[in-house]
């Protein structure tokens, strides 16, 4: 069995991404939906990064972390969406062996980095609300850079382990991946290797990544809620809860979908695809909307930039 698996694995040069099991006439609708969501992701996240970089008032730890969140959302959605849209029109729906490995590696890197970055953002809000007088000291530029660098480092280590372990398996059952991108679980289904050790390591890896970040977020917000409830000013409580509820909304959608995807038994592939949509496309689309529409500083900065653009456009029209 081992020889046959090794032999067949050497012959695998590409995979087929099955995607969504719907009628062919619905592919156009799915393509347009993906295109709309991806366009909103590009517009929202590029716009958020541009606003944060151009407005000096947003040169704070919170917006530094938020800018990196937009950067991560932009890149990991770009790893998934373009290939998925191409496959709606492709007859073969194929992806090369190297392309599949690269897609899994980059996606795992950015999604893990986002988890750690969300924990860093929760810690930032904890310091800002619970220890406001020490905020500028405790959330120094050096610490912010270390938190972001640490998020990318953890993502890279996890991604290397996950990708190398996944693509050391033998693929002799089929070339068809029942998903719209290369992910660990769908690849396990078409492997003929003994998956016991692989599943144990994957579970431990997910636990090591998810549990500490969730604990940091929950503990931070327990202290935040306790502090906010002591604020006498109604306006002060409203402002604090507004900022925190945005972050908790993002965390709930992301972690809820990931926990469903990787901790629930793999019995419903179609439901797994829907859950995957939540953290591959929905969350990157919602993040800039949530943080911009519910943030006074970002709205002011955006209004200022748009005002300059309109003034410049009117000046050009006047000259012409």
pLDDT tens-digit map of 6-63:
444 446 788 999 888 888 888 899 999 999 999 999 999 998 898 888 888 888 898 8
- For the chain, the average pLDDT equals 83
Query: Are 105 and 163 in contact, with CB atoms under 8 Å apart?
Result: yes
Say what the pTM is. 0.85
Structure tokens, 109: 């890197």
CA geometry: angle at 113 spanning 117 and 249, to 5°? 50
Residue linked to tokens 């590029």: 46
Structure tokens, 274: 């829907």
Query: Are 117 and 69 in contact, with CB atoms under 8 Å apart?
Result: yes
Taking only the tens place, the pLDDT of each residue in 132-178 is 888 988 999 999 999 999 999 999 999 999 999 999 888 876 788 98
CA geometry: angle at 233 spanning 227 and 238, to 5°? 70
How far apart CA 171 and CA 95 sit, in angstroms, is 15
Give which of 298, 319, 315 is closest to 60, Cα–Cα.
298
Strands 94-96 and 176-177: unpaired
Q: Reply yes or no on whether the pLDDT at 204 is more than 80.
A: yes
pLDDT value for 294: 63
Q: Reply yes or no on whether the pLDDT at 1 is more than 50.
A: no
Query: Are 113 and 72 in contact, with CB atoms under 8 Å apart?
Result: yes
Structure tokens, 268: 């419903």
pLDDT value for 4: 42
Query: Are 288 and 45 in contact, with CB atoms under 8 Å apart?
Result: yes
Give which of 74, 64, 111 is closest to 288, Cα–Cα.
74
Query: Are 171 and 7 in contact, with CB atoms under 8 Å apart?
Result: no
Most trustworthy range by pLDDT among 59-63, 287-291, 310-314? 59-63
Residue 5: which pLDDT band, with cuts at 50, 70 and 90? very low
Residue 260: which pLDDT band, with cuts at 50, 70 and 90? confident
How far apart CA 114 and CA 210 sit, in angstroms, is 11
Taking only the tens place, the pLDDT of each residue in 222-232 is 888 888 877 77
Query: Are 43 and 121 in contact, with CB atoms under 8 Å apart?
Result: no
pLDDT value for 231: 73
Tell me which of 91 and 312 has the higher pLDDT.
91
Query: Are 213 and 115 in contact, with CB atoms under 8 Å apart?
Result: yes
């Amino acid at each position: 069995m081992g020889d046959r698996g090794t032999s067949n694995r050497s012959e695998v040069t590409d995979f087929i991404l099955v995607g969504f099991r719907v009628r062919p006439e619905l592919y156009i609708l799915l393509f347009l939906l993906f295109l709309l969501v991806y366009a909103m992701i590009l517009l929202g996240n590029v716009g958020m990064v541009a606003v944060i970089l151009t407005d000096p008032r947003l040169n704070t730890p919170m917006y530094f972390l938020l800018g990196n969140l937009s950067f991560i959302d932009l890149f990991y959605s770009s790893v998934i969406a373009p290939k998925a849209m191409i496959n709606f029109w492709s007859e073969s729906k194929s992806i090369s062996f190297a392309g599949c490995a690269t897609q899994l590696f980059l996606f795992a890197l950015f999604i893990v980095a986002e988890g750690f970055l969300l924990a860093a953002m929760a810690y930032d809000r904890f310091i800002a609300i619970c220890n406001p007088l020490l905020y500028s000291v405790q959330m120094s530029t050096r610490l912010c850079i270390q938190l972001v660098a640490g998020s990318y480092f953890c993502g890279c280590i996890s991604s290397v382990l996950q990708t190398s372990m996944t693509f050391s398996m033998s693929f002799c059952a089929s070339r068809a991946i029942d998903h719209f991108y290369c992910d660990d679980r769908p690849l396990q289904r078409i492997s003929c290797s003994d998956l016991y050790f692989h599943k144990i390591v994957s579970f431990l890896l997910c636990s090591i990544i998810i549990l500490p970040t969730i604990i940091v977020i929950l503990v931070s917000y327990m202290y935040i809620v306790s502090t906010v409830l002591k604020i006498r000013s109604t306006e002060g409580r409203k402002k604090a809860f507004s900022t925190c509820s945005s972050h908790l909304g993002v965390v709930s959608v992301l972690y809820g979908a990931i926990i469903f995807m990787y901790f629930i038994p793999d019995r419903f592939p179609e439901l797994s695809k829907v859950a995957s949509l939540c953290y591959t496309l929905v969350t990157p689309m919602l993040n800039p909307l949530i943080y911009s529409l519910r943030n006074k500083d970002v709205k002011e900065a955006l209004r200022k930039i748009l005002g300059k653009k309109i003034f410049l456009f009117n000046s050009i029209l006047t000259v012409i």
